[in-house]
Amino acid sequence: MKKLALHYNEILQGDFELKKLNLLLVFQVNCPGCFSYALPVFNQLFNEFNTCEVSFLAISTAFEDFDKNTLNNTKELIKSGTLIGETKKFMKTQGLDILPYTLDFPIAMDKMSMDDTIDLNTIITTICNINPNYSIWPEFEKKSSSTKSKKSPRILRPNFPYLYPKSIKGYS
């Protein structure tokens, strides 16, 4: 099986290296659900299972609310527990002004691209090639998979959350 291709600008906290088992959490700083469910669970898993065979990484990303899901807001979150936007509104309903727990695991910021186009064929090829058996699929299955992906480009976007493109090459 091919290794995970991670694209991030920098590690903001902690260290990350690929190990036998790797757990990845992708979150947004303007996501109340991330802070009420995903991050506390990931923290618990990290504190319980962080061993020489298990690695953890959380990637702060932006696939919406680009003015809030930023590098600076992620850094402020890590440094002082500063909350923003919808997350802040939600936590206030719980009587909290800052993050009530520490983020103990490594955190990186997703690599952002200012390019306003994405080559859909490259994305589809990358996704298909991650499957270890793709090379032995019959040609009709490969073509069918590619055709289905082209008809549903929105499904691909969360896997490539760099910025929603204004146009997608190869998509008609």
> Tens digits of per-residue pLDDT, 59-88?
998 878 888 989 999 999 999 999 999 999
Contact predicate 106/11, CB 8 Å: yes
The predicted-structure confidence for 11-60, as pLDDT tens digits, reads as follows 999 998 888 888 999 999 999 999 999 999 999 999 999 888 899 999 99
Strand partners, 131: none
The predicted-structure confidence for 77-134, as pLDDT tens digits, reads as follows 999 999 999 999 999 998 999 999 999 999 999 876 655 455 667 767 776 777 777 7
Q: Which CATH architecture has domain 8-110?
A: 3-Layer(aba) Sandwich (3.40)
Q: What confidence score (pLDDT) does residue 32 get? A: 92
Q: What confidence score (pLDDT) does residue 143 get? A: 78
Q: What confidence score (pLDDT) does residue 85 get? A: 95
> What mean pLDDT, rounded, does the chain reach?
78
**Domain residue spans of the chain:** 8-110, 117-169
Q: Tell me the chain's radius of gyration from C-alpha atoms.
A: 18
Residue spans of alpha helices (H) in 70-138: 71-80, 85-93, 120-130
Query: 159 falls in which pLDDT band (50, 70, 90)?
Result: very low
Structure tokens at 149: 């992906």
Structure tokens at 22: 């790797």
Helix (H) or strand (E) holding 56: strand 54-60
Q: What confidence score (pLDDT) does residue 160 get? A: 36
Helix (H) or strand (E) holding 110: strand 107-110
